[in-house]
Amino acid sequence: MKVLTKFKSFVKSNKRTFIVLLLALISLFCYNVTKNGIGDEIFGWLRLWKYLSLLLLLITCYLLFLKGKRVILANLTLVVFLLLFLETILFFILGMPSAYRKDFNIPDLPEDHIARQVGTAYYPDSVYHDVKVVGDNDTVFDVHYSIDHMCKRITPGFDSSKTDYALFFGCSIGFGFGLEDDQTLAYQVQKQSKNTNSYNFCISATGTNHMLAQFQYRDLSKQVAEKDGCGYYIFFWDHIYRAIGTMHRYTEWLHLAPYYEMKDGKLVRNKSFKDGRPFISGMYERLYQTNIVKYFEADLPLKLNETHFDLVSEMVLETKKEYEKQFGNDKFYLVFYPNYVAYTPEEMRIFQSYLTKKKIKFIDLSKVITYQGKYTLGGDSHPNAETNKLIANYLLQQKKKQHLN
C-alpha cells in the first residue's frame, strides 16, 4: 500500500514528464499500426517517426529514473539513448533510406527435401535463361544453364568410352555463372583431357557447408559412370564467410544454408543457420539494416580468426572422407582459384596450414595469373570462358607435375 501511495505521489510530482512519456508510447503505437499497413518497404519518413518517438521515450525514462534516484537504470537508459542518437544522425547522413521487411522463415518443406538438406538446389531437368544488362542497355551476358535430372549442371560432350571422371564442387565460379554449358571450367578440363568426363556439382552462391551437405544428402557416386578419377573443390575465399554465416551473407541469401559447428572436438550438422543458432541469427536480422551497420559497412563477426579456419577446414576434411567412402579413392583436392585478393597473406598461410595439418591435398592456382578485368565477363567479376580455358590448362599441368594421379 505504501509503495502504491509513493508511486502516485511520484507521478503527481512529475505529471508533465509522464504525459510526455504517454505521448511517446502513443506515437510508437501509431507508428506500428502505420508500418503494418503499408507493405514491405518502411519509408524514410516512417523510420524517422520511429526514431523521434524512441528518443522521446528514452529521454523521459532517463529523467524519471534520475528523479527516482535509480542511477543504474538511468545510466543504462542514457547509453541506449546515445546509441539511438548516433543511429538517427547517421540516418540523416545516409539520406533517410528506406528499410525493407524480409521473410527469414523456413519454408514448409519435408525434412528430407533437397532444399532443406542442402540449402539450395536447381530444379531438375530444367534450363535457366540468365541475362545481365548494365549501363545504357549493354548486355554483359545472355546465356542458358542446362540442369539434369539430379539437379547438377550438364557438361556437354559426355563420352561413354572414357574411363575417368572429374568432379567439380563449389560456387558460381565452378558452376560457370554468365557462361554457356560449353564454357565452364568442368567442360574445359574435360576437353583438354584425353580420357575424362566432367561432372559439375557446383551451385552458385554457396560455400563449403553446402558442398559437405551435398555429399551427406545422397551418394553422388551413383551419378557417375566411371570408376576412377578426381574430385575438385574450386575454392573461393568468400566460401569461408559463407560457411560461418556472417551477418551480411546470412541476411542477404544464406539464412537457409546448412549450419555446422564444432562440439566436443567434432563437426556436427545443426539444421540451418536460421534454426540452428536462433540467438545469433535473430541478432543479425535486427542489426543488418541499422544505419550504424550501413554507414560503417560493418559485418559480424568483424574479423576471421583461427576457429573459423579450423571449422571450415574441418568441413573440407569431412567432405574428403565422404568422397573417399563414396568413390573409393583419396583423390580429392581443394583448388585455390585465382581471384581478386580478399585476404591477407597471413590469413592464407594460416588456412593452408590447417589444410596441411588435416592432410587435405590442395592445388594453389591463386597466383598463376593476376586476376583483373580482362579475365572477367566485363560488366561482371566472374571469370570468362578464356580464363576457364587457361585455368583448366594450369590445373591439368599441376596435376601432372605433382603426380596427383
User: pLDDT (tens digit, 9 = 90+) per residue, 250-273?
Assistant: 999 999 999 999 999 999 999 999
What is the predicted pLDDT for the residue at 168? 98
Check: CB of residue 215 under 8 Å from CB of residue 183. Answer: no
pTM of the model: 0.93
* pLDDT on residue 404: 47
Q: Which CATH architecture has domain 114-401?
A: 3-Layer(aba) Sandwich (3.40)
What pLDDT is attached to residue 402? Answer: 67
Domain ranges of the chain: 2-100, 114-401
Question: What pLDDT shows up at residue 12?
Answer: 82
At residue 130, the pLDDT reads 98
**Tens-level pLDDT at each residue, the chain (405 residues):** 677 777 778 778 888 999 999 999 999 999 999 999 988 999 999 999 999 999 999 999 999 999 988 999 999 999 999 999 999 999 999 999 999 999 999 999 999 999 999 999 999 999 999 999 998 889 999 999 999 999 999 999 999 999 999 999 999 999 999 999 999 999 999 999 989 999 999 999 999 999 999 999 999 999 999 999 999 999 999 999 999 999 999 999 999 999 999 999 999 999 999 999 999 999 999 999 999 999 999 999 999 999 999 999 999 999 999 999 999 999 999 999 999 999 999 999 999 999 999 999 999 999 999 999 999 999 999 999 999 999 999 999 987 776 544
- Report which of 248, 252, 289 is spatially closest to residue 44, judged by C-alpha positions: 289
